[in-house]
């Protein structure tokens, strides 16, 4: 079955082709350069840029896969969650294509799709086949969700952030330190030169439950930054590296502890770590080591599939189509606040 996946929920326009579980092409056009000067995603700019890119990258996805529109068996599109104006671009494009070519269309949940990224085949990559149930942590700029997965299509929400998402905490810390946007990767780079226990930062809600909270950590970083007068520090002041390392260590400890607790709570056979923040090296190492200690399998996507992409949308979309789940009519609307569970 040949499926086109389309994604435009935030600041990446993406198209991918998936055939019988294998990703044939995955094109991502990032808008980061357009939003950087504003320090975050500007919804109107995002929608316009998606509009300009969506047909171009769809053609690229077909060309790269060596397939054409006539061979397509179905279309999968991100229905939510995300920015409504941004989501609508791919949703309406997908509807038009599905109508014109008389193809089935499925609506995919973006956050769930992240959790399938470790299990996608690609030329030269045979994906692992997990044993269920799994505990899956999706950590990105917009989401921090913990799920129990009983198979690729069956998700139950175990916990979520009560305020900021983990990636948002990285981005806000980076913004405070004048490191630009998005900040996750820069924080990771700076943290390599710092000591993770130099500053004592809080680990909010560490000992209780499966929900998260990152706003207290963000506030603690801000207070420390002021107390230490880091705004006046030269860019090569090692205390900035210590702050990045101490922040990252706090975030990693909270995320790893909750993922471990989720595994124990549901009797998981393994754990998934996915979403943009899953590209973070120390987080992957800590979560992987925690799973090793428990004797559980650990699945994290290759870094290119951590960030937003349409391969994961096509992959989940193909499974949904085979199961007859989430089929859309032409009246379907985007679901900006769609919670997966």
Point out which residues bind Zn ion (CB under 5 A).
Answer: 140, 308
Contacted by 159, from Zn ion, ligand KG4, none: CB < 5 to 8 Å by type: none
Give least dist CB 28 to Zn ion, A. Answer: 11
Give least dist CB 292 to ligand KG4, A. Answer: 21
Contacted by 301, from Zn ion, ligand KG4, none: CB < 5 to 8 Å by type: none
Residue ranges of the alpha helices (H) in 1-74?
32-35, 43-65
Residue ranges of the alpha helices (H) in the chain?
32-35, 43-65, 84-101, 110-116, 166-176, 184-191, 215-227, 238-266, 281-294, 311-323
Q: Distance between CA 7 and CA 15 in Å, rounded?
A: 6
H/E element, 272: strand 270-274
Tell me the backbone φ, ψ of residue 67, rounded to 5 degrees: -125, 165
If you compute the radius of gyration of the chain from its CA atoms, what whole number of angstroms results? 20
Q: Distance between CA 87 and CA 46 in Å, rounded?
A: 10
Among 8, 140, 260, 315, binds ligand KG4 (CB under 6 A): 140
Give least dist CB 1 to ligand KG4, A. Answer: 26
**Interface with ligand KG4, residue 106, by CB under 6 A:** no
Which of 279, 321 has the CB closer to ligand KG4?
Answer: 279
Give least dist CB 190 to ligand KG4, A. Answer: 11
Number of residues that bind ligand KG4 (CB under 6 A): 19
Contacted by 188, from ligand KG4, Zn ion, none: CB < 5 to 8 Å by type: ligand KG4
User: Would you say 137 and 272 are in contact if contact means Cβ atoms under 8 Å apart?
Assistant: yes
By CB under 6 A, what part of segment 174-193 binds ligand KG4? 182-185, 188
Contact footprint for ligand KG4 (CB under 6 A): 10, 140-142, 167, 170-171, 182-185, 188, 275-277, 279-280, 307-308
């Amino acid at each position: 079955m040949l499926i086109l996946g389309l994604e435009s929920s935030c600041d990446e326009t993406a198209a991918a082709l998936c055939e019988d579980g294998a990703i044939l092409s995955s094109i991502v056009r990032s808008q980061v350069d357009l939003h950087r000067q504003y320090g975050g995603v500007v919804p109107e700019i995002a929608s316009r840029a998606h509009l300009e890119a969506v047909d171009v990258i769809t053609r690229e996805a077909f060309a790269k896969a060596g397939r054409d529109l006539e061979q397509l068996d179905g279309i999968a599109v991100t229905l939510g969650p995300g920015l409504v104006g941004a989501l609508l671009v791919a949703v309406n494009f997908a509807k038009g294509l599905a109508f014109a070519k008389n193809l089935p269309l499925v609506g995919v949940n973006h956050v769930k799709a992240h959790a399938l990224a470790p299990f996608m085949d690609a030329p030269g990559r045979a994906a692992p086949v997990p044993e269920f149930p799994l505990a899956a942590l999706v950590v990105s700029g917009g989401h921090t969700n913990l799920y129990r997965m009983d198979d690729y299509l069956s998700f139950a929400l175990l916990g979520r952030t009560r305020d900021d998402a983990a990636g948002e905490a990285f981005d806000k810390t980076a913004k405070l330190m004048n490191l630009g946007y998005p900040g996750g990767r820069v924080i990771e780079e700076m943290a390599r030169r710092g000591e993770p226990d130099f500053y004592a930062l809080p680990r909010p809600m560490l000992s209780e439950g499966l929900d998260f909270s990152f706003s207290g950590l963000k506030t603690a970083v801000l207070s420390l930054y002021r107390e230490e007068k880091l705004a006046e520090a030269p860019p090569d002041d090692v205390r900035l590296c210590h702050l990045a390392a101490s922040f990252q260590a706090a975030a990693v400890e909270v995320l790893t502890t909750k993922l471990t607790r989720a595994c124990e709570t549901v009797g998981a056979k393994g754990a998934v770590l996915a979403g943009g923040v899953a590209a973070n090296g120390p987080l992957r190492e800590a979560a992987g080591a925690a799973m090793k200690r428990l004797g559980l399998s650990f699945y994290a996507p290759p870094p290119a599939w951590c960030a937003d992409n349409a391969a994961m949308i096509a992959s989940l979309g193909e499974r949904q189509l085979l199961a007859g789940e989430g089929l859309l009519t032409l009246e379907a609307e985007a679901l900006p606040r769609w919670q997966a569970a």
